[in-house]
Amino acid sequence: MVALENLSKTFNSKTSVVEAVKNVSLRVEQGEIHGIIGLSGAGKSTLVRCINLLERPTSGKVFLDGEEITAMSNRELRLTRRKIGMIFQQFNLFASRAVWRNIAYPLWRGGLTKKQMADRARELLALVDLSDKENVYPSQLSGGQKQRVAIARALANNPRLLLCDEATSALDPQTTSSILELLKKLNKRLGLTTIVITHEMHVVKEICDRASVMENGEIVESGEVFSLFANPQRRVTQDFIETASNFSKINSMIDENHVITRLRPGERILKFRYMEKSEAEALVSAVSRRFNIDVNVIFANLEWVGDAPLGGIISVVSGDSRNIDEALLYLRDKHVGVEVILDNTRVSETNYA
């Protein structure tokens, strides 16, 4: 559906040269929801603006449905842009136009009568669950309702692709969830291919099929959401995941000699991490029963991606040292990552990871 080939965008000013996007190649399949994550300034917005040529790439090619849009004439490009809708963090509605006129705006020069445009706006309002607001002005709407109007407007021309640049970043968590639900529904019902820029782990987890991580203008990691998050290769990806967990607290607890992390002889603090889609198993009770050890959970950060558990557990494990070693081998066999955080057994030379 979308293919980027060796795309670069450099901004030149009198005083500086910024390589905002560097040699990015990316494919997004028909019907996919693709997340683009990365720190502020990584180049996410520039990359996505290059897809509809709001920003002209310095070099490289953009294909939409197999057609190279970087090679199109202005006229062809105008028609092709109708296949791409876009929404933004700040909604970008016209404050002086009623809701239905905002939505009908992209239809304006398409040769429709006013009634036809109003009908289409009504249809779109129903689709985004905002039927009673057609004659209201944007200032009378909540943030979530404004974003629904912006989504309806983005869909006016029946696009095949929707670009979302931090579309939920200005919304509270509950409203964010309802907008994500709406995006998912549109994706399913209309087969709408969607690209979602976000700095929120939650957004990616909720709706994305695949995701790419950007750093300094480059895509450094890309893949199916589960494998990306279960087994992140890059520091920036790991940090992104950690923002959604409380695991980093364990180190300060150890430093502060917290009562929970003060180990008795034979105890270890271990981190277990699901690395692969495995059958959800009652991990803690299974190993404690099977190997006669105690597993005392300190932190658990488990999410469900589809039917597979993602995340992990930090716990104090105690019991016979050999039994613990066997339990760890068993877990490794089940593709659970094991990391020793603190060990009060002996100087351990075994590497379980």
Ligand X SMILES: Nc1ncnc2c1ncn2[C@@H]1O[C@H](COP(=O)(O)OP(=O)(O)O)[C@@H](O)[C@H]1O
Q: Catalog residues that contact ligand X under the rule CB under 6 A.
A: 11, 18, 20, 38, 40-46
Two structure tokens written together for 101:
């006129």
Closest alpha carbon to 142 in 164, 175, 169: 175
Please, what sign has the CA dihedral across residues 323, 327, 328, 330? Answer: positive
Residue 187 contact partner, candidates ligand X, Mg ion, none, CB within 5 to 8 A by sort of partner: none
Minimum CB separation of residue 285 from ligand X in Å reads 43
The residues binding Mg ion (CB under 5 A) are 45
Minimum CB separation of residue 222 from ligand X in Å reads 16
Minimum CB separation of residue 212 from Mg ion in Å reads 14
Residue 237 contact partner, candidates ligand X, Mg ion, none, CB within 5 to 8 A by sort of partner: none
Residue 85 contact partner, candidates Mg ion, ligand X, none, CB within 5 to 8 A by sort of partner: none
Buried b (16+ CB within 10 A) or exposed e, 205-226: bbbbbbbbbbbebbbbbbbebb
Please, what sign has the CA dihedral across residues 134, 137, 139, 140? Answer: negative
Residue 11 contact partner, candidates ligand X, Mg ion, none, CB within 5 to 8 A by sort of partner: ligand X
Euclidean distance between CA atoms 316 and 328, whole angstroms: 13
Report the SS3 class of residue 45. Answer: helix
Minimum CB separation of residue 40 from Mg ion in Å reads 7
CB-count burial class (<10 Å; 0-12, 13-18, 19+) for 322 = exposed
Residue 154 or residue 167: which is nearer to Mg ion going by CB?
A: 167
Residue 32 or residue 55: which is nearer to Mg ion going by CB?
A: 55
Residue 10 or residue 301: which is nearer to ligand X going by CB?
A: 10
Residue 201 or residue 336: which is nearer to ligand X going by CB?
A: 201
Residue 44 or residue 273: which is nearer to ligand X going by CB?
A: 44
